[in-house]
């Protein structure tokens, strides 16, 4: 049996993620009391009727049940069930805007005199134990409903049973480091094409920027150093039973250097891995690169989406 546990902050898109898993053929249960998780897995396992189960566990659980979650998870993992925990997070400011727009009550404010801001902070502390055990963390702050569904489908629908799912993500430091990044490389020390007015309108996927960066040996050195690190240490992460790894590469604006570097590294890694997820946060692009494609430029990417004012919906 394969079990996927969805958790995270209220308003981060857990219901959307659960619906996406249901569409993939999972038996989906929302707001499952954590104390019933072991019994449910055992019952379904004995009946042999379901091989894929997805449940949502969040702060609506009893505090004692959440405290026991690490032990419950360990008990399930000791059996034959393959378990993955996905944690959805969203920055507090975005959550405040979402609750203000929908006028819904936060679950932790229903039976208390906490303010919304206090409830959002308290919820993060309540779910800390689950967050620390997460195999995959997804920051939904800038994702639309369709973006989030696509992320879930890409990560789980195409995942190989025994291979770590690798995502390379470009970003701009001026918009903050991605909350779901596992490893971050800072390449702001490389020559910046932004300062050339003729290059500024282009992105790191355009030949003008590629040509500019590849005239500098330091860019090739950085690419090789990051590649060497990834090729050496990714097998160790996979051997430690990790299912997902997000490697974020940042420059100042996330338009030129980091985009170029992610595409080149994906090109380098796809031959040995067979498939890499590529995400350009500031360009609004997310696609899969596999060993049947010649280059990132040949990929049919998703349509860019607005990264401001569009959210993955409410729970």
Task: Report how far residue 169's alpha carbon sits from residue 249's, in angstroms, rounded to the nearest whole number.
Answer: 6
List, for residues 205-254, the tens digit of each pLDDT value: 999 999 999 999 999 999 999 999 999 999 888 877 677 889 999 999 99
The pLDDT score that the predictor gives to residue 51 is 78
Candidates 304, 235, 293; CA nearest to 263 is: 293
List, for residues 258-274, the tens digit of each pLDDT value: 999 999 999 999 988 87
257-273 and 217-239 helices, crossing angle to 10°: 50
Task: Report how far residue 89's alpha carbon sits from residue 11's, in angstroms, rounded to the nearest whole number.
Answer: 9
1 has a pLDDT exceeding 80 = yes
The pLDDT score that the predictor gives to residue 49 is 56
108 has a pLDDT exceeding 50 = yes
Domains recognised in the chain with CATH numbers: 2-157 (3.40.50.300), 165-298 (no CATH)
The pLDDT score that the predictor gives to residue 175 is 93
Pairing of strands 52-56, 183-186: unpaired
The pLDDT score that the predictor gives to residue 181 is 92
- pTM above the 0.85 mark? no
Provide CB contacts within 8 A for 267, sequence distance 6+: 289, 295, 296
The pLDDT score that the predictor gives to residue 159 is 54
The pLDDT score that the predictor gives to residue 2 is 86
Percent of the chain with pLDDT over 70: 87
Task: Report how far residue 112's alpha carbon sits from residue 59's, in angstroms, rounded to the nearest whole number.
Answer: 14
CB atoms within 10 A of CB 245: 21
List, for residues 4-41, the tens digit of each pLDDT value: 999 988 888 899 999 999 988 888 999 888 888 888 88
Residue 119 in tokens: 């409830």
Select the more confidently predicted residue: 116 or 69.
69
Candidates 297, 299, 268; CA nearest to 203 is: 297
pLDDT band at 308 (very low <50, low <70, confident <90, very high): very low
Task: Report how far residue 69's alpha carbon sits from residue 75's, in angstroms, rounded to the nearest whole number.
Answer: 10
The pLDDT score that the predictor gives to residue 162 is 55
- Order the strands of the 82-89 sheet from edge to edge: 27-29, 52-56, 2-8, 82-89, 136-139
Candidates 49, 39, 50, 29; CA nearest to 79 is: 39
Contact (CB, 8 A) for 305 and 144: yes
The pLDDT score that the predictor gives to residue 295 is 42
Three-state DSSP at 67 gives: helix
The CA-to-CA distance between both ends of the chain, in Å, stands at 27
Q: How confident is the model over 61-83, as a mean pLDDT? A: 85
Residue 5: strand pairing partners: 55, 85
Contact (CB, 8 A) for 136 and 86: yes
Task: Report how far residue 266's alpha carbon sits from residue 273's, in angstroms, rounded to the nearest whole number.
Answer: 10
Percent of the chain with pLDDT over 90: 38
List, for residues 148-187, the tens digit of each pLDDT value: 888 888 777 655 455 788 999 999 999 999 988 999 999 9
The pLDDT score that the predictor gives to residue 312 is 41
């Amino acid at each position: 049996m394969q079990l996927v546990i969805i958790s995270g902050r209220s308003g981060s898109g857990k219901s959307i993620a659960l619906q996406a898993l249901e569409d993939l053929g999972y038996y989906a249960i929302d707001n499952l009391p954590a104390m019933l998780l072991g019994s449910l897995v055992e019952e379904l396992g004995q009946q042999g009727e379901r091989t894929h189960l997805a449940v949502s566990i969040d702060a609506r659980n009893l505090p004692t049940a959440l405290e026991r979650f690490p032990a419950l998870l360990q008990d399930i993992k000791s059996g034959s069930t393959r378990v993955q925990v996905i944690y959805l997070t969203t920055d507090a400011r975005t959550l405040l805007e979402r609750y203000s727009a929908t006028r819904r009550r936060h679950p932790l404010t229903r039976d208390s005199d906490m303010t919304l801001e206090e409830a959002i902070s308290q919820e993060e502390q309540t779910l800390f134990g689950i967050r620390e055990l997460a195999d995959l963390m997804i920051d939904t702050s800038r994702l639309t409903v369709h973006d989030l569904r696509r992320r879930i489908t890409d990560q789980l629908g195409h995942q190989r049973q025994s291979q770590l799912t690798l995502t390379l993500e470009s970003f701009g430091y001026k918009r903050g480091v991605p909350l779901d990044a596992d490893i971050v490389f800072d390449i702001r020390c490389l020559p910046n094409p932004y300062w050339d007015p003729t290059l500024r309108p282009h992105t790191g996927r355009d030949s003008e920027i590629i040509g500019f960066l590849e005239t500098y040996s330091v860019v090739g050195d950085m690419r090789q150093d990051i590649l060497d690190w990834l090729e050496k240490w990714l097998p160790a992460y996979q051997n430690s039973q990790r299912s997902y790894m997000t490697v974020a590469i940042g420059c100042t604006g996330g338009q030129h250097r980091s985009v170029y570097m992610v595409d080149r590294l994906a090109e380098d890694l796809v031959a040995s891995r067979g498939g890499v997820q590529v995400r350009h946060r500031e360009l609004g692009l997310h696609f899969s690169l596999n060993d049947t494609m010649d280059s990132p430029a040949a990929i049919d990417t998703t349509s860019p989406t607005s990264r401001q004012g569009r959210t993955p919906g409410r729970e």
